[in-house]
Amino acid sequence: MYYYYYYFYYYYYYYYYYYYYYYYYYYYYYYYYYYYYYYYYFYYYLVHQYLLSMETIMRTLPSINRTHAQRTTFSTP
């Protein structure tokens, strides 16, 4: 158990070292954070519109093809 605690403490020191590294590039990642945030929001909007269009299509298809589906017979075992 002491080995895992030392292992975790090593990675804590490792992330603490990279914390200063990321803090040095804070404005750089902050700019890219806003860039990726707006890109993610645009991508989420496109996926949301696609899912809404597919949902409306799948909801309207049974009402359109209901008479055709009633006239179609399927051979089920």
**Rounded distance between C-alpha atoms, residue 13 and residue 15, angstroms:** 5
Instruction: State pTM to two decimals.
Output: 0.28
Domain assignment present for residue 44? The answer is yes
In a domain, 63, yes or no: no
Q: Tokens representing 47?
A: 């996926």
For residues 54 and 31, what is the distance between their CA atoms, to the nearest angstrom? 35
Res. 36: pLDDT tops 50: yes
Task: Share the mean pLDDT of the chain.
Answer: 56
In a domain, 47, yes or no: yes
- pLDDT number for residue 35: 53
Residue 72 lies in a domain: no
Q: Is 53 part of any domain?
A: yes
Examine residue 33 and state whether it is found in any structural domain, yes or no: yes
For residue 46, what are the domain limits?
2-58
Give a yes or no: residue 52 inside a domain: yes
Domain count of the fold of the chain: 1
